[in-house]
Amino acid sequence: MNSENKNYALPIAMMFALFFMVAFVTSLPNPMGVIVKNQFGASNFLSSLGNAANFIAYAFMGIPAGILLSKAGYKRTALLAIAVGFTGVGVQYLSGQMGNFMVYLIGAFVSGFSMCMLNAVVNPMLNTLGGGGNKGNQLIQFGGSLSAIGATIVPVLLGILMGDIMEANIADANPALFIAMGIFALTFIVLFVMDIPEPHRAEATAVKEKSAHGPLSFRHFVLGAIAVGIYVGLEVGIPNTANLFMTSPADNNGLGIAASEAGAVVGTYWFLMLLGRLAGASLGSHFSSKSMLIFVSFLGMILVALAITSSIQTVVSMPTFKSDISIGITQVPIGVMYLILCGLCTSVMWGGIFNLAVEGLGKFTAMASGIFMVLVCGGGIIPSLQGFVADKAGYMASYWVIFVCLGYLLFYALVGSKNVNKDIPI
């Protein structure tokens, strides 16, 4: 094979762009929820439906995405995912032109299909382009950092574009949507003309081994899959509800903070996730996944409890990303600061849960990964539940939903992650 002599710098750069885009597009429903809430007079629950539509798509596409990857290969799957992503963002743009909430939800749902497909392909494709081993892992870690950067930029950018929150509409987000469509189009063209190695593509004549067992035969995997859905939900729910709380007017139980200021605060949450991932990568060789998940889950519960019980009148000066992308100071209630600090905790949870859940699965690991993608739909369910509670009991009271979710992750790390099915042949 002479593939080792080929220069894959350009497709690697495109994979980095897709890592960025997955986070960028997935983060759009958060600030867009603030827009549709004001443009259409939506409740907190309805404003979270764009996020729910984006993540519910994973429930439909998780397993098909894995099958498509094995049948069609990296390149074709990536090209199809990019085309779907371009379409989804395009539909969201049309919703702004039409001023139609349902069209916006359809666009978010289509975008979710694309994000699921891209999540299934970008990690193994980047690892392959890097030649596997340490180089492949290094590229994936760098890609993950770009994801955090994409998630950091979105709330800041959308906050700037919104201007006066009371007059904001979906069309104000057009520049961000144009950026997304432009990157999708460029990536599609580059990947279409490039030759991509496909070492793991399933052979049509491969003999399929039948087994009486599967990933769902393992208790620790089932509980871990639930933990993944809960994790994605709380990771998204924490900043989503904080953004709604800060931007809602005082007569609607909010703080009435300008959208640009609130976007800077929420962007800081995602930036802390970036720092947490970098710290987690360096500490991963010294601490087990179990001990790390125990620590961050417990710390997260403490921070959320402090946020709920703290007085709104107690204000602190918090370092944040300002509208010109510089570091500045924003005045926020101390409870909001506690919630933003949770980004340090959520940053390392995915890896810890994944490692614990697939431990001892052997040949069932690939199938387990597909099931994990399905459970990512929790990113739509938990924030919607939190939005419903916020409508009934208030923004800060809704964080008891997050507290309970963190409690489940702590239970999983302490008890549920133990493999009690070691008798199953793997």
Q: Is the per-residue pLDDT at 1 higher than 60?
A: no
Q: Where are the beta strands (DSSP E) in 31-103?
A: none
Report the C-alpha gap between 225 and 356 in whole angstroms. 10
The two three-digit tokens of residue 182, written as one number:
């432009």
Can you spell out the DSSP letters for 152-176?
A: HHHHHHHHHHH-SGGG--GGGGHHH
331: number of Cβ within 10 Å: 12
Output the pLDDT for position 304. Answer: 98
Report the C-alpha gap between 291 and 298 in whole angstroms. 11
Length of the chain: 426
Write the pLDDT tens digit of every residue in 50-83. 888 888 888 888 888 877 877 787 788 889 999 9
**Contact present, 404 and 347 (Cβ < 8 Å):** no
Using DSSP's 3-state secondary structure scheme, residue 316 falls into strand
Q: Enter the DSSP assignment of 416.
A: I
Q: Is the per-residue pLDDT at 132 higher than 60?
A: no
Output the pLDDT for position 99. Answer: 81
β partners of residue 329: 319
Write the pLDDT tens digit of every residue in 198-219. 655 544 334 455 666 778 889 9
CA dist 220 to 228, 361, 372, Å?
A: 12, 10, 13
Q: Is 414 exposed, middle or buried (0-12, 13-18, 19+ CB in 10 A)?
A: middle
Using DSSP's 3-state secondary structure scheme, residue 422 falls into coil
Q: Where are the alpha helices (DSSP H) in 255-348?
A: 259-283, 289-309, 334-341, 343-346
Domains and CATH numbers, the chain: 10-196 (1.20.1250.20), 213-426 (1.20.1250.20)
Q: Is the per-residue pLDDT at 313 higher than 80?
A: yes
